[in-house]
Amino acid sequence: MNVIGLSKERFSRRALLKRLGVGAAVLPLLNANQASAAGPRKRFMSYTWNNGLNLKDFHPSGDMIEPKALLKPFVDANLMSKLLMPIGLNYTHWIDHGESSKGHDTFPGLLTGCWRGTPNVSLDYVIAEQIAKEVQLPRKLLTLGVRPYGSDPARTSWSGPGRENKAELDPYKIYDELFAGASLPPVEIENIRARRQSVIDFVRADLTRFGSRLGVDDRLKIDAHLSSIRELEADLAPPSAQSGSCQVPTLGTKIDLSDRATTPAHTKMMLDLIVMAFKCDISRVATFDPVDGQMNSPVPWLGISDLHHKVAHAQNGGKYAEKLKIDGWYFSQVAYVAKQLDQIVEGDKTLLDNTVILSANAMEDGTSHYVGNIPFLLLGSCGGYFRTGGRAVRYARLPHNLMLAALAQAFGINVTSFGDKYPGVLTGLT
């Protein structure tokens, strides 16, 4: 059962307005069920975590994915035929920088194809921008997480050099932004929008005046602030094409997000929000990074008191079962979101079929932290673009940049390279 269930229940206007008052971007109309003339409505999602996997419980020996221990959730969800596993890709930037065992530092490169010192636009951002050229959605890109774990969160999502797309962590806030507006009369939505627009106009003029008095370096900071406002302003505007409607989901019993024991419920809410956002066409791109790029994520709900990193280092020294349990849990969440998407019918396909989910890890395995054979997994065929079928495709130590380029091409983006230094597009996936 979803934490967020579908319901036609209408909220009291008062309650909705109250919620909308708190930082809510307004969603005037939902354009679900909107027929698309241009082929399948493709979605992209990434799911990333850290500390590597036990590859022997993941990679098959032949050309077909096998029901290894870590893939059990996909067997249980009957999703094995919708998987595609590229084997033999690595984070070449790190190897070439002499950092082949610096697996913790790869997060800025996972989706950018850049070394950690020079991250630029990430795949999710690029896909979101491409889709935005075709259709104006309430949210171009959802970057979601569960909680910040450390001092130096490493993001997967980047909208440019130095511009991290920080993950949103509060499902209640996101819910309000995405769904609460749906039940409001258009005139009230317009009032909120107009009020915010007035404040934004003031703030923008104020920032511009402020920036003009600064030196070059400081002004760049203000320019970034102004860009952020511009991006938010675009989200405020109503979708260009409005038709159809979407059932408004309801949130379940409120949980205490600060309690680590609620992480499973929290994670589920975030994944349900992604499913609803995809279903209702509020967004077509979602980045989910439950660990905020951190290695030291605690996992107390699995009955494990050590932090994930410590377990990972000891995966061959007495902590094998615990490591398997942790990664199995993450994969069970990937399988959960995939299953939810697979249960939503879109024409002669399912939503999962129109999606490609990239499941990625920061490193190969937890003992060595080596970045040589990254356990990637693709789910969903992206509208028939990828030839899934439970295939494992082997490569001879290729940069993962090539896979990013192939994923970009799946969304009609005409690239021949992704990131820098390692041009090319991965073949064998389509």
Partner 1 sequence: MKKISGTAATRSVVGGLGMLAGLACAGSIDGAGSGPGPGSPGGDGTTAGEPRSGSPAAPATGKGGASGGGGGAALAVGPMPPRVLRHLTRAEYNNSVRDLLGVAVLPENRNLAAEMEIFTTAITGFPYPRGVDAVSKGDYKNLRGAAEELARKAVANLSSLLACDPAAMGEPACARSFVESFGPRAYRRPLVADEITALMGLYDKGRGTLKLGFADTIGLLIEGILQSANFLYLREFGPSADPYEVASGLSYFLWSSAPDAELLKAAQTAQLTTLAGVEQQARRLLANTKKANDTLRVFSDGWMELDRLPEATKNAKLYPTFSVALAQAMANETRGFISDVLTGGDRTLKTLLTSSTSPINTGLAALYGYPVAGLAKDQFQKVTLDPKQRAGLLTQAAFLTRTGDPDGSLPPRRGKVIYENVLCRLAPPVPDGVPDVQPPSPKLTTRQRFAEHLKAECASCHKVFDPLGFAFEHYDGIGAYRATEAGQAIDATGTVTLDGQEHAFKNAVELMALFSQSPEVARCFATQWAWFAMQRKDTPADKPTLDAVADAFLKKGYDVRELLVAIALNTFPSGRK
- Maximum distance among all Cα pairs of the chain, rounded to whole angstroms: 64
Minimum distance of partner 1 from residue 393's CB (angstroms): 23
Tell the smallest beta-carbon distance from residue 4 to partner 1 (Å).
Answer: 21
Q: How many CA atoms lie within 13 A of 23 on its CB side?
A: 6
Smallest CA-to-CA distance from 114 within 96, 99, 93 is with: 93
Min separation Cβ 188 and partner 1, Å? 13
To which residue do tokens 């010192």 refer? Answer: 117
Give least dist CB 99 to partner 1, A. Answer: 9
Beta bridge partners of 378: 84, 358
CA 359 centroid distance within chain: 10
Of residues 270 and 341, the one with the C-beta less far from partner 1: 270
Sequence-ordered strand ranges (E) for 39-183? 43-49, 83-90, 142-145, 158-160, 163-164
Q: How far is the CB of 226 from partner 1 (least distance, A)?
A: 9
Are the CB atoms for 320 and 54 separated by under 8 Å?
Answer: yes
- The CB-based long-range contact list for 135-138 (8 Å cut-off, 24+ gap) reads 135/239, 135/240, 135/241, 136/237, 136/239, 136/240, 136/241, 137/239, 137/281, 137/282, 137/283, 137/284, 138/25, 138/27, 138/30, 138/178, 138/235, 138/239, 138/282, 138/283
What tokens does 291 get? 């660990």
- Rounded to a whole number of angstroms, the minimum distance from the CB of residue 49 to partner 1 is 16
Nearer to partner 1 (CB atom), residue 108 or residue 380: 108
Q: Least CB distance from residue 157 to partner 1, whole Å?
A: 11
Residue closer to partner 1 (CB basis): 76 or 218: 218
**Closer of 261 and 345 to partner 1 (Cβ):** 261
Q: Tokens 């989706």 — which residue?
A: 111
Q: Is 349 helix (H, G, I), strand (E, B) or coil?
A: strand
Q: Are 40 and 250 in contact (CB under 8 A)?
A: no
Closest CB 352 distance from partner 1, rounded Å: 26
Whole-number Cα distances in Å, 312 to 191, 294, 301: 52, 13, 17
The minimum distance between CB 340 and partner 1, in angstroms, equals 25
Closest to partner 1 by CB, 73 or 113: 113
Please list the residues that pair with 358 across neighbouring strands.
Answer: 46, 378
Strands of the sheet with 391-399, listed across from one edge: 142-145, 285-289, 43-49, 355-361, 377-379, 83-90, 391-399
User: Based on CB atoms, which residue is closest to partner 1, 145 or 390?
Assistant: 145
Nearest approach, Cβ of residue 129 and partner 1 (Å): 5
332 with 338: CB under 8 angstroms? no
User: Is the Cα torsion angle 371, 373, 375, 381 positive or negative in sign?
Assistant: positive
